[in-house]
Amino acid sequence: MSPNQENLPSAARKALRKLGRSCAAMVQVGKAGLTVALVAQVDKLLNQRELIKVKVLEAADMGADELADLLGESTAAAVVDVVGRTAVLYRPNPALPQAKRIKLE
């Protein structure tokens, strides 16, 4: 369980899950698994978008749950949802312009 996951209220998690369903997977994890480059890419995307979807291919050496937890810990992001081989991660970025930030109420 990632550190920020505990700080995310259930209503916010529900809203983020809904948003995550409509976005496309931005990162694919293959047989290389969790690498420094992958963590850097996920970190960069979270800074730009706050909410991203990660697809774990069958060739990956670990499951989506385990990989999502490790990515969450490595990037200080909350694991919003894991369905099948797809995970949704969220990390708020106060530096983003207000129009680009995800509003959670």
| pLDDT per residue of the chain (105 residues) written in tens, 0 to 9 | 444 555 788 899 999 999 999 999 999 999 998 999 999 999 999 999 999 999 999 999 899 999 999 999 999 999 999 999 999 999 999 999 988 898 886
pTM for the model: 0.90
Number of domains in the chain: 1
Q: Check if the beta carbon of residue 80 is closer than 8 Å to that of residue 102.
A: no
Burial of 52 (0-12, 13-18, 19+ CB in 10 A): buried
| CATH number of the domain where residue 37 is located | 3.30.110.60
Contact 86, 21 (CB under 8 A): no
Would you say residue 100 lies in a domain?
Answer: no
- For residue 96, give both structure tokens: 């983003």
What's the domain range around 31? 3-90
- Residue 6 has a pLDDT of 59
Please tell me the predicted confidence (pLDDT) of residue 104: 81
What is the C-alpha to C-alpha distance for residues 47 and 10, in angstroms, rounded to an integer?
23
Here the tokens at position 63 are: 């499951």
